[in-house]
Amino acid sequence: MKTFDFINPPNIYIEIGQNSLKALDGDDGLELSLEREQNGRLTGVCVDNLISSLRVFLKRHSWRGRVRAYCAIGARGVSLRKLSVPSSSREEIDRLLVLQIEREFPLPPDELAWGYRNLTAEQPRRNGAPTIQDLLVVAVKRDVIAEYSEILSSCGLIPMFTLGAFARSSLCSHPPRAYSVLDIGPAQSELITFEDGVPSAIRILPWGGSDIEKKAASAEPGSEFDLLARSIDQKSVGQKLYLTGATSSIEPFTSHLARTMTDAVQCQPIDVVAGEGRSAAILGLKKLCEQDGIAPPLTLQLPSARDAARINGQSTWKWLAVAAGLLVLSFALRYAEPFIQKPRLERKLAQSKAFREKLPAIDRELAFLEYLQTNQPPYLDLVSTIASAASPGSRIDSLSINRRTDISIKASMRDSQQVAQFRSKLIDSGLFSAVVVEEQTPAPDGQKVTVRIVGEWKRPAPGKPPAKTDRQPIANQTDAQQSKASPPNLNTSAPGNTVPPVPLPSSSSAQPPLPKE
Amino acid sequence: MRTLSDREKRIVRIGAIFVTIYLVVFLGFSAWKKLEAKRSQYAALFADAQKLKRELQPYENRVLRVQKLKDTFRMDPQKLSRATLVADASAAIQKAATTGGIKLGPVRESPARSSNKEIASMQLEGTGPIAGVLGLLSRLESLGYPLVVDTVQITPQNQPGAVKMSLTIVILDFDQWKNEKAPNA
């Protein structure tokens, strides 16, 4: 198998005769017998068998796509004409030929499958009278080809039909100017005559290999062979008669034929490799397509196939148009974005700009609120700390705090040791940066010491938790709850201590912020 | 109308092809230039949008912070009316004090220094339980007005558990912030 067989699969060659169908796919061959009705059409059973057998035969290479099948058909019912038409384009020739066929053939063109071969060499157009083209037209009843075409198409093949007699002639090596090819089949024979390489006549001879074998078995085979040989007109045979078919089994007849021919006519059998699915027509087709690299010079086409070819051409243009459209679309996509996205982008930009207009207000609000937050002194923390620091028996006579960090306390305590402890506790709380006992005066009775303390409270650093105090969180206390709240150390006892219980401040003031100007 | 011959049809076809090529080449070129201009405009607009987006990105945090502070102070500075601010704030403070069981004494208002962006200062004196006084100090923050307690003075009274308080409260003037130049982003 060639590497790219799946891209360009090898062709299949088929010969459809009167009684058999032979197929060759590479080296695989198939031979099926055909059953026909009285009118020559294949029977329904035969068609079903053919389809199923061919499918099985082709399934071995199911990975292939649709494969082209070159089919050689027999000469029965085939008409051969030489027609002349004015030199013109291929489409014009098709149109003209339809008219010619209508005149020359017994059936209208719509009922024929026909093909033609140009017999005139291509010449440049000359001025003046139009050039005449000679064409060889071959036609057969449409139904014959349509039936075969339907069977082969249903097997996934693309059939192309030609005459088996044309295909056999390609096996003739170095043919003379005029020659004939006689294919001896089992029940009938085909004789085709060529002049200057162009088929001039095609005949069906009503005898075949089985008749010859019967004649050979008779008492006087020579005279019987003469009767058969006389059906071949020696004058029209040309210079050489090529013999194909079962020539080995009828060798006595072929020898007799060679002897009876005039000296001007040579008789030469064509050796064909024997095997299933192999015949002179199939091998001739294969030689044409594979060795010579050309398609059969004349193919028979149904009218619908001609329309399909034209439609195929149109669909090619359609695909080209689609491809061009896609190309334009891919180019246009580059420019489509501005048209699609620009309105949305402009709208969003306008919204963003409107928001930006509000930014100064947001900045001012933030500055104002931050100023407000950072300028709230932590009065409740300070009061709580002082209450905690006061020892039993102490009395705070006045407490004054301002937001410029000044604090002033006037109190009376039992002795100077309590004063020292009070000051130490205030400093240890971390809320005070300086605590100064401005005045410490013992009372005349010596029972008390009156002190005046001044100091500075300290603002905590941003993000730093407030100084540790003994107070508990009782935020959002109601008045009733507040009245029940147990006081901190400030009045733990001492009679005469007039400082009332100090409720703890709400948690919101627990973290005094840093002042910000 | 006369039917065109093949030759005439071919001439018409070729002519149509040439006209199409002419239109494609010349009109197509000018159309392409216009499209390119439109595309470059869009690219510029897109770059502007990206720049603006980067510019506005830091403000997302600021907006959130402003909202949080507004919630804390229960106040929208934009809605404060300068004309009635002092009166409203004074009424709210007195109401809060009374609610806390404080018996208010003299209340004095005086215009504050504008250099400090203050609109007025108030001096309140009152007597009440220490819990009420400290509760008032706590509630002043969330009264919905820009109040800063300047000084606190607490002195005990003769009645047990009662104290005399003297507060100096400053009312801030947001209008003076409005007139300020906005800080850079």
Distance from CA of A474 to the nearest CA of B (A): 11
Q: pLDDT over 90 for what percent of chain A?
A: 14
A-chain CB neighbours of B161 within 8 Å are 500-501
Q: Which residues of A189-207 are buried (b: 16+ CB within 10 A; e: fewer)?
A: bbbbbbeeeebbebbebeb
Q: Verify that A156 and A62 share a domain, yes or no.
A: yes
Q: What are the DSSP calls for A234-270, one per residue?
A: HHHH-SEEEEEESTTTTHHHHHHHHHHS-TT-EEEEP
Residue A8 pLDDT? 59
Would you call A486 an interface residue with chain B, using a CB distance cutoff of 8 Å? no
In B159-178, the residues whose Cβ lies within 8 Å of chain A are 160-163, 168, 172, 174, 177-178
Domain-embedded: residue B70 = no
Q: Is residue B90 part of a domain?
A: yes
ipTM topping 0.85: no
**Distance of alpha carbon A57 from alpha carbon A303, whole angstroms:** 29
Residue B68 inside a domain? The answer is no
CATH of residue A419's domain is 3.30.1360.100
Tell me the pLDDT tens digit for each residue of A425-445. 999 988 898 899 989 998 888
| Residue where one domain finishes, among candidates A249, A270, A291 | A270
pLDDT at A501: 36
Does residue A180 share a domain with residue A162? no
Is B145:B92 a contact under the CB 8 Å cutoff?
yes
User: pLDDT, tens digit, for every residue of A249-297?
Assistant: 677 787 887 777 777 778 888 888 778 888 889 988 888 887 766 667 7
Q: Is the pLDDT of residue A344 over 70?
A: yes
Q: Out of A373, A396, A398, whose CB is closest to B69?
A: A373
Residues B51 and B94 in one domain: no
B40 and B105 part of one domain: no
By C-alpha distance, which of A112, A116, A115, A26 is closest to A69?
Answer: A26
Q: How far apart are CA A279 and CA A247, in angstroms?
A: 12
Residue A13: which pLDDT band, with cuts at 50, 70 and 90? very high
Please determine, for residue A516, whether its predicted confidence score (pLDDT) is greater than 70: no
A365 touches B at CB < 8 Å: yes
Cβ <8 Å between B150 and A402: yes
The answer to whether the CB atoms of A501 and B161 lie below 8 A apart is yes
Domain C-terminal end among A219, A253, A270: A270
Chain B interface includes A297 (CB < 8 A): no
User: Among all residues of chain A, which has the CA nearest to that of B115?
Assistant: A517
CB contact under 8 A, A398 and B135: no
Q: Which domain holds residue B152?
A: 75-178
**C-beta atoms of A379 and B149 within 8 A:** yes
- B152 CB within 8 Å of a chain A CB: yes
The verdict on a CB contact (< 8 Å) between B135 and A402 is no
More confident residue, B126 or A288: B126
Return the pLDDT at A451. Answer: 93
Residues 89-108 of B with CB under 8 A from A: 100-101
- Residues A53, A109, single domain; the answer is yes
Which residue among A335, A372, A479 places its CB closest to the CB of B35? A335
Full domain range(s) for residue A119: 1-171+272-301
pTM: 0.46
Which of A13-27, A295-309, A355-369, B55-69 comes out lowest in average pLDDT?
A: A295-309
B24, B29, B41, B42: best to mutate for the A interface, most A CBs within 10 A? B42
Are B37 and B90 within one domain? Answer: no
Q: What is the pLDDT of residues A135-178, one digit of tens each?
A: 889 999 888 888 898 898 888 888 889 999 888 888 888 888 89
Closest CB to A402: pick one of B36, B66, B151.
B151
Residues B163 and B131 in one domain: yes
Residue of B73, B115, B147, B148 for testing the chain A interface, max A β-carbons within 10 Å: B148
Shared-domain flag, residues B109 and B166: yes
Q: Per the structure, how many domains does chain B have? A: 2
pLDDT digits (tens, 9 = 90+) for A353-399: 888 888 888 888 898 998 888 888 888 889 989 988 988 888 889 99
Same domain? For A79 and A188 the reply is no
User: Are B41 and B79 found together in one domain?
Assistant: no
